[in-house]
Structure 1
Amino acid sequence: MSQVWYAVLVGLVAVERLGELVVAKRNLAWSLARGGRETGFGHYPFMVVLHTGLLAGCLVEVWVADRPFTALLGWPMLALVVAAQALRWWCIRVLGRQWNTRIVVVPGLPLVTGGPYRLFRHPNYVAVVVEGFALPLVHGAWLTAAVFTAVNAGLLAVRIRAEDRALRSVDA
C-alpha cells in the first residue's frame, strides 16, 4: 500500500514539474519578446531526459526491486522534498518573469539579489539537488538517488558554468 502512496507523491511532483514548464514557456515568450537571448541550450534536452528519468526511476525501482518504506528515512526525506518544492517556488516567485528552465538573459534587466538569492547564487539548483536524492529515498530507492545525484552533478557543472557566463553578460 505504501507503494501506491509513493506513486501518488511522484505523480504530484510530475504535475508540479509540468506546472513549471507552463510557467517557463510563458516566461520564455515574455523574455524573447524583450530581446532575451538563450544560451547553453545544448545540454537542455539531456536535462529533460535526466529529470524525467528521475521520476521514472523512482517508480520502477520501488515497484520492481520492491523497496520498502522505512519511516526513519522516509519521513525526513519527505520533509526535504516538501522543503525543496518550497525553495523552488520561492525562486520562481522572486525571479518572476525572469525565471525559466532555460538560460535566458534579457538585456537591461538587473540581476535578482533578493529572496533566496541573498543566500545562494543558484538556489534553484539547491532545490534540484535536495529533491534529486530525497524523492527516491522517501521509499528507499537508493540506486535511483545515487545515479541521479552523480549524473546531475556533472550536468550542473555544465549548466552552472553556462548560466554564470550568461549572468556575467548582465554584470558587464
Structure 2
Amino acid sequence: MTPLTAKLLHALCMIAWWAIRRPFERKSKRNVLVTDAMDLRETLLLGISLTGLGVVPAIYIVTGFPAALDQVFSPLRATAGLLVFVAALALFHATHKALGRNWSVTLAVRQDHALVTGGVYRFVRHPMYSAFWLWAIAQALTLQNWLAGPAGLIGFGTLYLLRVGREEALMRRTFGAAWDAYAARTPRVIPFLPPPRGA
C-alpha cells in the first residue's frame, strides 16, 4: 500500500457511496412530503458535512494539497481505514434498504411514513449516522494528512451534534409513544450500548 494507492481506493469508496445512494435519491423524489425541515440551518449543516467528507478529501486526493500537512505514511493504518470504509458502505446500503421509500436526505416525513425498527434499525436508531461516523474514521486513517484526514470527523461531527436532537424531536412528534418505546430500548448510533435515560 502506497499513499497514492490509499488515495485512489478512498476515492473509489467515495464513488461507491454515491452509487449506493443515487437510486434511492431518484425513488424518493416520487414520494409526497408531509413535513420538510429543510431550512437555512439544515442547508448549512449539510454543506459543512459535505465539505469535510467530500470537498476537502477530493481536493487532497486530486491535487495533494496541502502536502505540507502530510503525516508519515503507515500502510497498515491505511489498510485498516479502507476496511472501515467498506464496512461503512455495507451499513450504508443496509440502511437505505431498510428505509426504502421512507428515506430522505433532509429531515422530512413522507406520506404514509412508517417507523422503521427492523433490519439494521434493530441495533441502532440512526444506522445512517453510524455509517457516516465509520466513513469519517476511515478518512482519518486512510488520508494521512492533518487537514484532509480529520476533516470528515469535524464536518460530519458538526452536522451530527446539531442535527440528531432535532431529528429525534421530529420522530417523536410524528410517531409519539411508538418512537419513545423504540428509543428506550435501542441505542442511538453504537450498537449494544444501553440507551441513556431520556434518549
User: Which TM-score applies when normalising by structure 2?
Assistant: 0.71
Counterpart of 2:34? 36
Q: Measure the CA separation in 2 of the matches of 1:84 and 1:29.
A: 25
- For residues 20 and 169 of structure 1, do their structure 2 counterparts lie closer, same or farther at Cα, with a shift above 3 Å needed? farther
Deviations along 1:57-85, one digit per CA (max 9) or x if unpaired, are: 33555722344531221111111111011
Using the aligned pairs only, state the percent identity: 25
Q: How far 1:141 sits from its partner (Å)?
A: 2.6
- For residues 94 and 158 of structure 1, do their structure 2 counterparts lie closer, same or farther at Cα, with a shift above 3 Å needed? same
In structure 1, stretches of 5+ residues that fail to align are none
Q: Aligned pair count?
A: 170
Q: How far 1:144 sits from its partner (Å)?
A: 3.1
- For residues 18 and 93 of structure 1, do their structure 2 counterparts lie closer, same or farther at Cα, with a shift above 3 Å needed? same
Counterpart of 1:23? 23
Counterpart of 2:166? 162
User: Which TM-score applies when normalising by structure 1?
Assistant: 0.81
Q: Measure the CA separation in 1 of the matches of 2:76 and 2:13.
A: 22
| Preserved contact between residue 73 and residue 137 of structure 1 (Cα < 8 Å) | yes
Q: How far 1:163 sits from its partner (Å)?
A: 1.4
Q: Measure the CA separation in 1 of the matches of 2:152 and 2:48.
A: 11
RMSD of equivalent CA atoms: 2.6
SS at match of 1:31: coil
Q: Residue 132 in 1 paired to residue 131 in 2?
A: no
Q: Residue 87 in 1 paired to residue 86 in 2?
A: no
Counterpart of 2:192? none
